[in-house]
């Protein structure tokens, strides 16, 4: 080997040693950077990142960590710019698309985030975090089904991903699948025992499924973890209210309102548990909220509806109606933006279709199908027709269990129409299996009880299927003067998704279709039926209560007369009323608002001067 060759080899060795030393120094910097991030020393971490990128421009790990540091400081646009350059340098790196998608999500750019996350999944289908973040993007975009599917895929790949499990629970709550949410949220709460928001979500799901006592404990845990978390206090107020603990409920709502003056549900919750003690000071406070330019539309909506309630209590009826008009106008604006509309023609056509399908001939052909158990009882009718009072009377009997507004039947009906959309495919075996499984669930929830009452009022539209499933079930129809029922719906603060509640005429037309459906069932439904007229129930309570219990096939128990003392949870808008002794001030309430009811009376087909309890003559 000559001297020239030895020189080349020496230089190569020196370069290799220098490169190794540089790599070692860079690795040491990465370790230092990691320690800065773990310690929350973000300024130092950013400075070190930038120094490293000066030495090694475009280095993937350093670029990625710089983006993380920027995101942690809320500098999302800078993080997005940094990651965009990384993606351009490494277009086939799933991790780069994944991180950019997460940054776009954090910046509220969810449609762009979904695009990047889908690309990450194309490149690396088993990247669980990308599926989870895609679920978040889809959830924010209003695609609940897509979000749920993405979260479920993430968990199939990484079952211990507690954040995805918590997000799945939240998405299931939004979709109304509260029972499914509970299992996921329990596991998320176990993984993150100090996360107050997860305990609140679990409480929300439990509250919706009738497990108020456990929900109460979840909210108590949440506010113990974070006493300044207003959502925890609102949940505590709602659970206490459902359990009839109005003083405790008021304190919780007051605490929430003190923490967050814009906490709408706290303000309205206070109005529901402080009934009968309205004062002008409270009314003026609510009026200030409605007039404050800084108040959001939703805050003003809730304040208007709470003010309508208080003005009504004070006998200031014209002002109360004006307040309800404004509150519902704001609610309809929100509904329109969310594409939520009440289409009365669809409801009317649907009722006509049910009448064509569920005929006496159909019931004769399906006689003997289903399960002959006498356990199921269904309370059906229009909103605000005394159904909660009827339910409370039933619940006061020792042999009755009530399950509130269960989604069991709507979900079962959806299953039937999804799996066997043609009636020709319906079989006795199919219906018997469905009925038996539901009865097993009822038996587990109410062991030893002779009757189980389901008060999902819209089950009136499913009574044809119910008659096939449970041919010995009992049905209780609740009725009330259409003017009082529609007015009460219009004046009440419901979930914003109840589209017809925000328009008085729509509320009346919905009442009319429910009564028309009822009139049809009177003629042909092969089930035991009992009708309760609210005005009659109030006027002769004991006789009507005895008739109701007799219809259930049970011996009379005096406790049914003291329904307001029955210790059970109530989750409907009537929660306060059924905790009070019987009173009749709501009968004929419409007379206070008669000057405002012309269009309503025309819509339901009733003379404005018709006596209390009158019915349109063309309904039957």
Among 495, 483, 500, 520, residue whose Cα is nearest residue 615: 483
Domain boundaries, the chain: 344-604
Distance CA 36, CA 49 (A): 11
The answer to whether residues 449 and 475 touch, using CB atoms and an 8 Å cutoff, is: no
Three-point CA angle 507, 510, 512, nearest 5°: 110
Determine the Cα–Cα distance for residues 427 and 406; give it in Å rounded to an integer.
25
Q: Is 73 helix (H, G, I), strand (E, B) or coil?
A: coil
Give the residue among 587, 573, 594, 590 at the shortest CA–CA distance from 241: 573
Name the helix (H) or strand (E) containing 99.
helix 94-106
* Structural contact between residues 175 and 143, judged by C-beta atoms closer than 8 angstroms: no
Mark 172-195 as b/e (b = at least 16 C-beta within 10 Å): bbeeebbbbbbebbbbbbeebeeb
Instruction: Report strand pairing: 474-479 vs 451-454.
Output: unpaired
- Domain topology for 344-604: Rossmann fold (3.40.50)
> Under the phi-then-psi rule, with left for phi > 0, alpha for psi from -120 to 50, and beta for the rest, what region is 530?
beta
Q: Return the structure tokens found at 370.
A: 């289903």
Phi–psi pair at 183, nearest 5 degrees:
-60, -45
Count of CA atoms in the C-beta half-sphere (13 A) of 533: 10
How many whole angstroms separate alpha carbon 407 and alpha carbon 438?
12
What is the C-alpha separation between 106 and 71, in angstroms, rounded?
Answer: 8
Question: What is the largest distance, in Å, between two alpha-carbon atoms of the chain?
Answer: 121
Query: pLDDT at position 582, please?
Result: 56
| pLDDT tens column, 462-485 | 999 999 999 999 999 999 999 999
Note the pLDDT of residue 33.
62
Residue 465, C-beta contacts closer than 8 angstroms, at least 6 positions apart: 409, 412, 413, 416
Tell me: the pLDDT tens digits for 537-557? 999 999 999 999 999 999 999
- Residue 206 has which token pair? 């439990």
286 phi, psi to nearest 5 deg: -65, -40
User: How far is 563 from 580, CA to CA, in rounded Å?
Assistant: 9
Return the structure tokens found at 168. 């799945």
* Residues of the chain falling short of pLDDT 50: 8, 11-15, 17-19, 22, 568-576, 578-581
CA dihedral of residues 417, 421, 423, 424 (deg, nearest 10): -140
Output the pLDDT for position 41: 67
Q: How confident is the model at residue 455, as a pLDDT? A: 94
**Residue 22: per-residue pLDDT:** 47
Q: How far is CA 556 from CA 378, 530, 560, in A?
A: 20, 17, 8
Contact 385, 489 (CB under 8 A): no
Q: Measure the CA–CA gap between 198 and 217, rounded to whole angstroms.
A: 13
The reported pLDDT for the residue numbered 365 is: 94
């Amino acid at each position: 080997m000559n001297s020239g060759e030895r020189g080349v080899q020496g230089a190569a060795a020196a370069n290799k040693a220098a490169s190794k030393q540089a790599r070692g120094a860079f690795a040491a910097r990465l370790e230092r950077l990691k320690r800065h991030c773990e310690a929350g020393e973000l300024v130092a971490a950013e400075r070190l990142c930038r120094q490293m990128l000066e030495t090694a421009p475009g280095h993937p790990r350093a670029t990625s960590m710089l983006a993380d540091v920027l995101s942690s400081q809320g500098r999302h646009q800078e993080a997005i710019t940094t990651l965009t350059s990384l993606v351009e340098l490494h277009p086939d790196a799933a991790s780069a698309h994944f991180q950019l998608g997460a940054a776009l999500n954090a910046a509220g750019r969810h449609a762009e985030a979904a695009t990047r996350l889908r690309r990450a999944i194309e490149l690396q289908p088993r990247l669980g975090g990308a599926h989870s973040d895609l679920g978040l993007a889809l959830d924010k975009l209003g695609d609940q089904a897509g979000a749920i599917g993405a979260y479920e895929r993430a968990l199939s790949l990484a079952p211990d991903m507690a954040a995805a499990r918590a997000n799945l629970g939240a998405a299931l709550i939004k979709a109304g699948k509260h029972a499914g949410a509970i299992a996921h949220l329990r596991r998320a709460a176990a993984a993150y025992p100090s996360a107050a928001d997860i305990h609140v979500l679990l409480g929300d799901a439990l509250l919706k499924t009738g497990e108020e006592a456990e929900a109460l404990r979840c909210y108590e845990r949440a506010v113990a973890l974070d006493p300044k978390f207003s959502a925890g206090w609102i949940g505590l107020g709602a659970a206490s209210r459902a359990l009839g603990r109005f003083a405790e409920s008021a304190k919780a709502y007051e605490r929430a309102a003190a923490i967050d003056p814009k906490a709408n549900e706290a303000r309205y919750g206070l109005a529901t548990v402080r009934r009968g003690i309205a004062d002008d000071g409270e009314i003026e406070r609510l009026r200030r909220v409605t007039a404050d330019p800084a108040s959001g539309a939703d805050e003003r909506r809730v304040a208007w509806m709470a003010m309508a309630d208080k003005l009504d209590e004070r006998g200031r009826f014209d002002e109360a109606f004006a307040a309800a008009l404004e509150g519902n106008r704001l609610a309809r604006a929100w509904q329109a933006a969310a594409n939520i509309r009440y289409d009365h023609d669809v409801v009317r056509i649907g009722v006509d279709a049910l009448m064509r399908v569920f005929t006496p001939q159909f019931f004769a052909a399906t006689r003997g199908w289903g399960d002959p158990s006498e356990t199921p009882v269904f309370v059906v009718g229009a909103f605000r027709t005394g159904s909660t009072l009827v339910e409370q009377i039933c619940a006061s009997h020792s042999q009755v269990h009530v399950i509130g507004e269960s989604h069991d039947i709507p979900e079962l009906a959806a299953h039937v129409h999804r799996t066997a959309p043609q009636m020709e495919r319906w079989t006795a075996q199919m219906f018997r299996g469905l009925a038996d499984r539901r009865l097993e669930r009822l038996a587990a929830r109410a062991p030893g009880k002779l009757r189980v009452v389901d008060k999902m009022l819209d089950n009136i539209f499913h009574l044809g299927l119910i008659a096939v499933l449970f041919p010995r079930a009992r049905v209780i129809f609740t009725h009330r003067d259409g003017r009082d029922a529609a007015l009460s719906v219009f004046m009440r603060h419901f979930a914003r998704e109840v589209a017809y509640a925000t328009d008085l005429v729509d509320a009346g037309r919905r009442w009319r279709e429910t009564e028309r459906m009822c009139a049809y069932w009177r003629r042909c439904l092969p089930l035991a039926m009992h009708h309760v007229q609210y005005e009659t129930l109030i006027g002769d309570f004991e006789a009507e209560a005895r008739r109701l219990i007799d219809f259930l096939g049970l011996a009379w128990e005096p406790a049914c007369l003291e329904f307001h003392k029955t210790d059970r949870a109530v989750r409907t808008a009537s929660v306060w009323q059924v905790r009070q002794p019987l009173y009749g001030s709501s009968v004929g309430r419409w007379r206070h608002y008669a000057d405002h009811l012309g269009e309503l009376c025309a819509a339901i087909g009733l003379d404005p001067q018709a006596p209390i309890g009158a019915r349109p003559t063309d309904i039957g």
